Structure 1
Amino acid sequence: MKRLIVGCLILLLAQIGLLAATRLIDRTGGTQSGKGSLLAFKAADIDEVLLEDGEGHHLALKRDKDRWLLPEAGSFPADSARVQDLIDRLAAMQRGWPEATTAEAATRFKVAPDRYVRKLNLLKNGTAQAIVYFGTSPGLRKMYLRGDNDPEIQSLTLSAHDLELKLDSWIDTKIVQLKPERIKRIELPGLLLERGQEGLQPADLKPDEEVVKDRRDALVNRLAKLTVTGLLGTEVKPEYGLQTPVLKCSVELDHGEIVEYVFGQPQKLAKPAGKDAAPAPLTDLSFVLKVSNQGQVFRVDSWQVDELKKAVRSSLVRAKTPAPAASAAPLPVPAGQPPASQAK
């Protein structure tokens, strides 16, 4: 009898443990319990995303064939991979163990229609396919969410940054990048690189000089792999400092196109008067960039510009190391005479 009681107790504890583990897995935002899709839409159908907060701020993204654009920024290219990743994650999310199901909890967790942190509307041809309310965070990089007209509140591994409303957070930061192998010529102040048999090298390289390849490659990649951090519009304003640039350079590509770069240092604005005055929009940590083949003016981090400004010929070139002298051949030994090593 005792053995039967002990066996039943062990079985009961095992079932309780399994139930607790299953609920824990559901709440981690990883593998869900397989009760079906949380949101009934197909990721491939979505061609527009509307994101807003409860204070009237909003952000729109629209798909054009295989890329996403920002209509509010003149259809500037968005980070398509990031947009599609968000859509795919929501489409693949399975219904797990709900955190709560009441209207009171929806208001408390800020996932109610009239009280939310973020509201995401996914559309196809102007028709809503899914509406999701995102609320407060139950833990690190997690958010509560609830589908429209769905009482169940779930949690998902997501951070507030993933649902940012600022345009700069969604732009394609690699828009001005080039393929290094397509660069035929680079002109910087006091330095001219041209492509030869050994790749890009100073145009005035002397026979007794050689290129320090790792430094050359680092410089070429810095210019070719420039990243932008923000949009400043299409108007070139005087305060951007582009009329008196801190750096000008150009790149000629293999098909003949010449891309010109002008970097300006924003003027330091006087400290605004009054406690409610707005702060200056640009800081000492950023420069302004205008690229000849782009309509927008960009903000770039200053460390990228500093590296280009420091580029000089002497850092890329060194004297060739003389080849080691060939060892002298031993003199022939006369017949009948022992080698010097054996002579006494």
Structure 2
Amino acid sequence: MNSLIRTLVIILVAQIALIAFMYSGGDKLAHFKSQEPLLPFKTEDVDTVQIEEKDKKPLVLTKKDDNWVIPADNNFPASETKVKEFLNKLAKIKKPLPVGQTKIAAKQLKVTDENFERKITFKQGDKVLGILYLGSSPVYKMVHARLAGSDLTYSIPFSVYQAAVQKDVWRNLKLLQVKAADISNLKLNGFKLIRKDKKVILSDLKDSEEMNSSKVKD
């Protein structure tokens, strides 16, 4: 009986050790370097960013003549501030200790090529510099992340909402802001307002018509 119990205990310990090995990834941590940059490339070299969300059209940001644009939006200028903040934030993140070291863990944390919250591809010309997967969120303002080609998954200070796929989030809306003093004429609903002698008047008024100046603010 004692021999049987001893054998069962040995088998149980061996099974536990095997499971622990499968989830820990063996000696992968032996090659881990703490506090090295998460991204293995310089963001200054990036001229194209593609952000993917499951079941949605990818968003592409491209640098054209040193300015970021949205190709799918007729090359409408992207907000330089937003794009730079996005890249700089990721560039400053250092690798913490991994929270997962296997493909099984990556699947559970939603950072695989088949299952992810965001897939971000960084390119320089036709060259892919790196692919970053963002998955589930362990706590507020933190997200699980994994680089393509590695089984190590990290928890980083970032959010999937900072990697939006909506075009309007990235547009440079300042270009649509025009000072009233810079407007010489305006057409609206069949009417035309023009600026003349520092005053705004309604064009093509009939003799029997009169403009209500109180409705127009200079």
One-letter amino acid of the structure 2 residue matched with residue 244 of structure 1:
N
- 1:40 partner SS: coil
Change (3 A) 1:76 1:35: same
CA distance in 1, matches of 2:39, 2:120: 12
In structure 1, what is the equivalent of residue 46 of structure 2?
Answer: 46
Alignment of 1:133-152 (within 5 A): 133-152=133-152
CA distance in 1, matches of 2:123, 2:138: 28
Alignment of 1:1-344 (within 5 A): 34-178=34-178, 183=181, 244=189, 312=217
In structure 2, what is the equivalent of residue 276 of structure 1?
Answer: none
In structure 2, what is the equivalent of residue 11 of structure 1?
Answer: none
Tell me how far 1:162 sits from its aligned partner: 1.2
Question: Which runs of 5 or more residues in structure 1 are unaligned?
Answer: 1-32, 189-241, 253-308, 314-344
CA distance in 2, matches of 1:126, 1:96: 30
CA distance in 2, matches of 1:69, 1:251: 33
Tell me how far 1:179 sits from its aligned partner: 6.0
Tell me how far 1:312 sits from its aligned partner: 4.7
CA distance in 2, matches of 1:142, 1:251: 53
Change (3 A) 1:81 1:137: same
CA distance in 2, matches of 1:248, 1:166: 34
Tell me how far 1:187 sits from its aligned partner: 7.0
What are the superposed Cα offsets for residues 116-168 of structure 1, whole Å, 9 maximum, x if unpaired? 11100000011100100011112223221111112221223333321111111
CA distance in 2, matches of 1:39, 1:163: 16
- The one of the two structures with greater contact order (alpha-carbon pairs below 8 A, sep at least 6) is 2
CA distance in 1, matches of 2:170, 2:152: 30
CA distance in 2, matches of 1:65, 1:150: 34
In structure 1, what is the equivalent of residue 24 of structure 2?
Answer: none
- How many residue pairs are counted as aligned between the two chains? 169
Alignment TM-score, normalising by the size of structure 2 = 0.67
Tell me how far 1:249 sits from its aligned partner: 5.1
One-letter amino acid of the structure 2 residue matched with residue 131 of structure 1:
I
Tell me how far 1:38 sits from its aligned partner: 1.6
Question: Which runs of 5 or more residues in structure 2 are unaligned?
Answer: 1-32, 197-213
CA distance in 2, matches of 1:96, 1:142: 12
State whether residues 40 and 91 of structure 1, in contact with CA within 8 Å, keep that contact through their aligned partners in structure 2.
no
Percent identity among equivalent residues?
25
CA distance in 1, matches of 2:215, 2:143: 45
Give the root-mean-square deviation of aligned CA atoms: 2.9
Once structures 1 and 2 are overlaid, which stretch shifts more, 77-86 or 155-164? 155-164
CA distance in 2, matches of 1:63, 1:251: 38
One-letter amino acid of the structure 2 residue matched with residue 128 of structure 1:
V
Tell me how far 1:91 sits from its aligned partner: 2.1
- 1:144 partner SS: strand
- 2:144 partner SS: strand
CA distance in 1, matches of 2:195, 2:69: 27
One-letter amino acid of the structure 1 residue matched with residue 170 of structure 2:
W
- 2:68 partner SS: strand
CA distance in 2, matches of 1:75, 1:167: 11
Change (3 A) 1:184 1:91: closer
- 1:112 partner SS: coil
In structure 2, what is the equivalent of residue 319 of structure 1?
Answer: none
One-letter amino acid of the structure 1 residue matched with residue 127 of structure 2:
T
CA distance in 2, matches of 1:112, 1:250: 58
Q: Which has the larger radius of gyration?
A: 1
CA distance in 2, matches of 1:104, 1:45: 33
Alignment TM-score, normalising by the size of structure 1 = 0.44
In structure 1, what is the equivalent of residue 9 of structure 2?
Answer: none
In structure 1, what is the equivalent of residue 209 of structure 2?
Answer: none
